[in-house]
Structure 1
Amino acid sequence: MPTASTDLAGAMAGAWNAGEPERVIALAAQATPAQASDESVLLLLGLAQQATARLAQAVATFRRLAQRRPDVSAYWNNLAVVSRQAGDLAGAEQALLTALTLAPDDAELHYNLGLLHTQQRRWLPARQALLDAAQLDPHFIEARLQAAYACYVCGDNTRQEAMLSGAGDWPAQPAEQALVLSAMLSVQGNLDAALRTLAHAQLPDGAAAGGMRLRIAAQRVLLYERNNRIDAAQDELRQLPLAALDALPPDEQQARADGWRAHAALAMRSGAHAEADALYQRVLACAIDDESRASAAFGLASARDRQGRHPEAWQALQQAHAIQLDTARNVVPELLATDSRPLQVAGGNVARGTCADWKPLSSPGSRQSPVFVVGFPRSGTTLLEQMLDAHQDFRSMDERAYVHDLIEGMELVGQQYPEDLASLTQQDADQLRSVYRRMVGEVLPDLGGRRLVDKNPLNMLCLPMIMRLFPHARIILCLRHPCDVLLSCSMQPFRSPAFMVLCSSLQRLAQGYAGAFEQWYRDVEACAPQVLEWRYESVVDQFDAQVARLGQFLDIADTSPMTRFAEHARRKRFISTPSYAQVTEGVHRKAVGRWQHYREQFEPVLPLLRPWLDRFGYEA
């Protein structure tokens, strides 16, 4: 025969299933002391309190329930969720850790822990918890999306791509998540999937839908601009009249800021730098997320630089880097130490002549090996990459960290890099090349017999690995005036937290530059690679002669397709590096000597750069 408690719980369950949380709470108020301690009554009451935003009461109810049944992980999870919603992050973490001791393989618990760490801006533990959730349940779409975003923030491109595998076919996402997902898909070069994600976004109810539509339109503008589809971006911008943005209510700051950023991006592309300047200032005045603010500050610096307002441009850069450092502090706090080395690759250098002592292994010939394009970032690597990619005999895979991944793979199995390169067996080397080719094949399934162009500037720090696997590879080192390189790095909104730290000051950048070239030349002396030094200024001044020199180095009979690289870049649309717009313009001198406008800021670091200025033959 049913008890009074079960009768009450049944009535409350009926009200809950009917979508009447207020009635659930009213029924619970009629409970006798015995009924009030019933598990089902407490659970339904807590859920109703949570649904009606009575968060403090819900916390108390779920705490009572968890204390009554401490062996039930779901009750600790309920307590954690409402505690997080109520702002008690420490209490939420404690409850989740308790739940995980009871159910360590529960994907939802790991997911909620990841969301908590995300709210705490503890990005590394957030990434791990969310990756754990996705591993436990590969079909848990929300976990994969949030894990991908945590990887995005941490600069973990490899795992981000893994989490987003097949994301173009995911079910429609709530609009806020759709914006995040589309941005990540675009970064991977998948514009079509990014646009589909936005097209299927589930809008919120009520008045909030209007602001979200504007945010989605702004995102489309930025996606098209980022893919060099300027006409499509202009068409989309017509859905975002400035008057409509100004008319938004005060609580729609993000929609207003997103719209202004879209207008500013196209103003920059059309040369309306003063207009872009004013728009970026308006964005920075909004209370919005750090990533949008940093992007606006970098845009403002660029707009002011183009107007010749160099001191004000430098001020905007300092603001941009300060915002980015806040992000980096939560991901790589150890790199903020003054003696940190953000560019340090695992392992050290090989000693002089070491490569000659390696046991000979069978390896691909020059034409079967990738062409490696290296150099300090912003030295003209993207320009060269697009020139090679324009030739029918070559294919570029955009910027990938696959050589770095191979080094990490060695260390994961207990091998030391670079010391254990000497003891690699033929099977080891073949397996590493197989892993490399498999990763390349996922990006370029139609490579066929064409020669791969592996352009990653910081592969200059991985020369021993390149030489062990591809000893006959042709390697091109891109050079440019060190001060122009450092200025260009300073003006880019890099996503990598390590690069955020590196570029936060000219002092750090100069130290990183010097350290990178010291390592490069030590490794060159040890490994004796086939290297062509490719100087940006010479390409600008003697384009045809330099193209002929490049063709001779790579055994290319007809170099004429490479001279049409700008046209090729416009057709290609997506280019992952910050130079995506510049390479569509062809070769020009606008970027040569640009650092002289900021000479006052460079004076303190010129002594650090002097050895490299002298070595490369540049004037200070």
Structure 2
Amino acid sequence: MPTPTTDLANAMAGAWNAGEAERVIALAARATQADEEDEGVLVLLGLAQQATGRHRQAATTFQRLAQMQPGVSAYWNNLGVACRQAGDLPASEQALLTALSLAPDDAEVHYNLGLLYTQQRRWIPARQTLLDAVQLDPGFIEARLQAAYACHVCGDNTQQEAMLRGAIDWPAQPAEQALILSAMLSVQGDLDAALHTLARARLPDEPAAAVMRLRIAAQRALLYERNNRIDAAQDELRQLSPRVLDALPPDADQVRADGWRAHAVLAMRRGAHAEADALYRRVLAYAVDDESRASAAFGLASALDRQGQYREAWQALQKAHAIQLEIARNVVPELLAADSRPLQVTGGNVGHGTRAGWKPLSSPGSRQSPVFVVGFPRSGTTLLEQMLDAHPDFRSMDERAYIHDLIEGMELVGQQYPADLASLTQQDADQLRSVYRRMVGEVLPDLGERRLVDKNPLNMLCLPMIMRLFPQARIILCLRHPCDVLLSCSMQPFRSPAFMVLCSSLQRLAQGYARAFEQWYRDVEAFAPHVLEWRYESVVSRFDDQVARLGPFLETADTSPMTRFAEHARHKRFISTPSYAQVTEHVHRKAVDRWHNYREQFEPVLPVLQPWIDRLGYTV
């Protein structure tokens, strides 16, 4: 801010420093013609107009300052903020880009531009711009929070975690921001930090504070349920009785939706499917944003499916996917094209000849390598992961995309994947393994001598990288009837925008499934990895026999702890995948052949799936 040079500017500065924005504006009304050309007067006036919600007037004031001093980035930055707050988004972007050109290392300008892109729902540029702000100023908490949210929307879990590292020690957040932050922390499995964030949330003034307390109670109920703490979730619901929700003022749709959703989720957990059906319909009536509406539609579909109302369930799913497609449109619009491939098969092919030309490198043995659990999503990978994690010699790190991150890292430095795996030196490979272990160490600092279980279904598309770094690794491919896999995928509210598109139609999903297995079997032929096929239907029908198969494959004498996976999962509480509730129960056959209830919908895609149904030993 320029140093005040006139009596009026000095008086305005005194009022501003005393927190009297209205008095600043009143003093500015006395300005002479000379005062109106004074930078100090104009800056204080613009700031006061912003502080009191006079955004259009503030934009006019900062526009004048930017014309007077076009080389001062702060004036363009303030103009951009005022225009955004006034609703003139094109003018805001122009002003902020001008500010950025004048001050490319100013974190605040990057932050304000990121907020603009967020408001425009341009999530990809929002994510990058906000990440740039944090890189310039790692202690910029507001930028970290907004960058984490943009990463959350884009499905970038790795960067989201990086942005939220240490969030439990952040200053208390306004209640609306605290709700967002706690939801993201919960997705990462950090229940304590999520609850701590809600407990310290800064509430608005009454009566809005009373409504916000109910939203926080609803969030806590969902957090507890998501972590399998059902009694604690039910306790929170006592604050959200139907009488309380029905008595809310007419403009309280958001808290109604939040409250009824918490009731619906808990009703599903106790098997009250008809009650959940009615509750999810209430949520759909009040939900004000696409994410809440999509979640409610998926919940309604599940409740209808459990009641045997399959046609109505499919209709609810179609509604859910239509909403998710609109969400994805703002993140990955290119994937909505008819010929798009939402499930990217990573890199090119590695044939026998190419593989034979790889430079020999030393590598860890089987017991020093991770155990990789792969397979198309919804094939039983979480069940197997919890079985292995229940054994004291193994430790799972939940679902992480670290192998994908290594591939992305190669490509960012100009290397081609998988072609350049052939020319990796021993130092290169050691460095990649070191990066992988560092990432693992951040989530499992106490891994010690236990064997790591890396469960990520789509690591099945990363076999060349796995074989280059861990050629002796044991890999377990989870299999399940392709139609049951596709039905289960269709019924899940995936957060990844690419998966939203992939699962939006059975045709897209079937094509993605076929391409994934084509890639898998090509790579298996080239690499001949140590693979055990783990069939879901065999596990639920002959559980003890299948557990016994794991012993020789994993070089483990006693597999009995793996049979106690359900008890282990209940004590573990947080499990990141949609199966978090199912794996706290023992195995059963309820999920086998469910697709027959939707055979009419599957008939058009059976020609795509039939080769894989046959190859994997299933029937229709």
Same fold (TM over 0.5): yes
The answer to whether the Cα contact below 8 Å between 2:4 and 2:13 also exists between their aligned partners in 1 is no
What is the CA–CA distance in structure 2 between the aligned matches of 1:34 and 1:413, rounded to whole Å?
Answer: 57
- Note the 1:58-207 alignment, pairs <5 A: 58-207=58-207
- Measure, in 2, the Cα distance between the counterparts of 1:415 and 1:49: 52
Q: Which residue of 2 aligns with 1:402?
A: 402
Instruction: Sort the Cα spacing of 1:4 and 1:126 in 2 relative to 1 into closer, same or farther, 3 A.
Output: closer
Per-residue CA distance 1:46-83 (angstroms, 9 max, x = gap)? 22222332222222122112111212211111111111
Q: Which residue of 1 aligns with 2:421?
A: 421
Structure 1 residue 612 corresponds to structure 2 residue 612: yes
Deviation of 1:140 after TM superposition, in Å, equals 0.4
**CA deviation after TM superposition for structure 1 residue 545, in Å:** 0.8
Contact 1:391 1:562 in 2 (8 A): yes
8 Å CA contact 2:66, 2:75 repeated in 1:
yes
- 249-258 vs 122-131, which deviates more? 249-258
CA distance in 2, matches of 1:335, 1:392: 43
Q: Which residue of 1 aligns with 2:498?
A: 498
- Greater shift after overlay, 421-430 or 261-270? 421-430
CA distance in 2, matches of 1:287, 1:34: 54
> Are 1:219 and 2:219 matched, yes or no?
yes
The DSSP-based 3-state class of the residue aligned with 2:592 is: coil
Residue 590 of structure 1 deviates from its aligned partner by: 0.7
Partner Cα distance (2:374, 2:402) in 1: 13
The answer to whether the Cα contact below 8 Å between 1:332 and 1:497 also exists between their aligned partners in 2 is: yes
Task: Report the CA distance between 1:279 and its aligned residue.
Answer: 1.4
Q: Distance in 1 between matches of 2:40 and 2:345?
A: 56
Are 2:346 and 2:461, in contact at CA under 8 Å, matched by a contact in 1? no
Higher mean C-alpha deviation, range 477-486 or range 309-318: 309-318
TM-aligned CA deviation for residue 614 of structure 1: 0.6
1:300-351 CA-partner distances (Å, limit 9, x unpaired): 1111111111111111111111111111111111111122112214411111
More divergent stretch after superposition (131-140 vs 345-354): 345-354
Q: Partner of 1:592 in structure 2?
A: 592
Deviation at 1:392, TM superposition (A): 0.9
Deviation, structure 1 residue 172? 0.9
Per the TM alignment, residue 169 of structure 1 is displaced from its structure 2 partner at its CA by 1.0
Mean Cα deviation higher: 323-332 or 29-38: 29-38
Matches of 2:605 and 2:471, distance apart in 1: 36
**Corresponding residue for residue 343 of structure 2:** 343
Distance in structure 1 (CA, Å) of the matches to 2:215 and 2:239: 11
Is 2:306 the counterpart of 1:306?
yes
SS of the residue aligned with 1:557? coil
Shift of 1:399: 0.5
Task: State the alpha-carbon separation in 2 of the partners of residues 146 and 421 from structure 1.
Answer: 36
User: Which residue does 2:469 correspond to in 1?
Assistant: 469
Of stretches 138-147 and 289-298 in structure 1, the one that deviates more from structure 2 is 289-298
Q: Distance in 2 between matches of 1:511 and 1:56?
A: 51
More displaced 10-residue stretch of structure 1: 4-13 or 234-243 = 4-13
Match of 1:550 in 2: 550
Q: Is the 8 A contact 2:506 2:605 kept in 1?
A: yes
**Mapped partners of 1:413, 1:48: distance in 2:** 47
Distance 1:405 1:53 in 2: 44
Give runs of aligned pairs for residues 377-392 of structure 1, distance below 5 A: 377-392=377-392
AA at the equivalent of 2:149: Y
Q: Deviations over 1:143-177 (max 9, x none)?
A: 00100110111111111111111111111111111
Instruction: State the partner residue of 2:520.
Output: 520
C-alpha separation between the residues in 2 aligned to 1:456 and 1:414? 26
CA contact (8 A) 1:5 1:35 kept: no
Q: Which residue of 1 aligns with 2:30?
A: 30
* CA distance in 2 between partners of 1:388 and 1:491 (Å): 26
The match for 1:363 is 363
Question: What is the aligned-residue RMSD (CA, Å)?
Answer: 1.4
CA deviations over 1:448-495 (Å, ceiling 9, x no partner):
111111110000000111111111111110000001000000111111
Tell me the distance in 2 between the aligned counterparts of 1:464 and 1:266: 43
| AA partner of residue 583 (structure 1) | V
Greater mean deviation of Cα atoms: 355-364 or 529-538: 355-364
Query: Are the equivalent residues in 2 in contact too, given 1:12–1:27 (CA < 8 A)?
Result: yes
| Length-normalised TM-score, structure 1 | 0.98
Q: Map of 1:552-567 to 2, 5 A cutoff?
A: 552-567=552-567
C-alpha separation between the residues in 2 aligned to 1:349 and 1:492?
A: 31
Q: In the alignment, which residue of structure 2 is the partner of 1:482?
A: 482
Tell whether the 8 Å contact from 1:352 to 1:522 is kept in structure 2 after alignment: no
The aligned counterpart of 2:263 is 263
1:251 to partner: Cα distance: 2.0
1:398 alignment partner, SS class: coil
Shift of 1:24: 2.5
Please state how far the C-alpha of 1:353 moved relative to its aligned partner.
5.3
- 2:458 match: 458
Could you tell me how far apart the structure 1 residues matched to 2:551 and 2:412 are? 39
Q: Distance in 1 between matches of 2:287 and 2:435?
A: 45
* CA drift at 1:18: 3.5
Shift of 1:386: 0.5
In 1: Cα distance, 2:137 partner to 2:494 partner? 32
Q: 1:326 to 1:406 in 2, by over 3 A?
A: same
Answer yes or no: is the 8 Å Cα contact 2:4–2:10 preserved in 1.
no
- The verdict on how the C-alpha distance between 1:287 and 1:545 changes in structure 2, with shifts beyond 3 A counting, is closer
Q: Report the Cα distance in structure 1 between the residues aligned to 2:23 and 2:451, rounded to whole angstroms.
A: 70
8 Å Cα contact 1:353-1:525 kept in structure 2? no
> Structure 1 CA distance, aligned partners of 2:447 and 2:356?
32
Partner Cα distance (2:454, 2:356) in 1: 24
Q: CA separation in 1, counterparts of 2:476 and 2:354?
A: 22
* Whole-Å separation in 2 of the counterparts to 1:24 and 1:396: 60
Partner Cα separation in structure 1 for residue 517 and residue 160 of structure 2:
30
Alignment partner of 1:367: what SS?
A: helix
Aligned-partner Cα distance in 2 for 1:464–1:100:
42
Change (3 A) 1:287 1:588: closer
The answer to whether the 8 A contact 2:398-2:575 is kept is yes
State the 1:367 CA deviation.
Answer: 1.1
CA distance in 1, matches of 2:525, 2:18: 76
Deviation (angstroms), 1:287: 4.7
Query: Shift of the alpha carbon at 1:366?
Result: 1.0
Indicate conservation of the 8 Å contact 1:353/1:527, yes or no: no
User: Aligned ranges for residues 272-351 of structure 1 at < 5 Å?
Assistant: 272-351=272-351
Equivalent residues of 1:5, 1:34 under 8 A apart: no
How big is the shift at 1:555? 1.9
Asked if structure 1 preserves the Cα contact closer than 8 Å seen for 2:257 and 2:287, the reply is no
Give the whole-Å Cα distance in 1 for the aligned partners of 2:206 and 2:238: 24
Cα contact 1:352–1:523 (8 A) shared by 2: no
- Is 1:6 matched up with 2:2? no
Q: SS at 2:6's partner residue?
A: helix
In structure 2, distance between residues paired with 1:367 and 1:25: 72
Alpha carbons 2:73, 2:99 under 8 Å: kept: yes
Structure 1 distance, partners of 2:346, 2:619, is 34
* Unmatched runs of 5 consecutive residues or more in structure 2: none
Determine the structure 2 residue equivalent to 1:441: 441
Unaligned runs of 5+ in 1: none
Tell me, what secondary structure is at the counterpart of 1:285?
helix
Displacement of 1:552: 2.2
Secondary structure of 2:391's aligned partner: coil
Q: AA paired with 2:418?
A: P
CA distance in 1, matches of 2:457, 2:229: 26
Greater CA drift, 343-352 or 435-444: 343-352
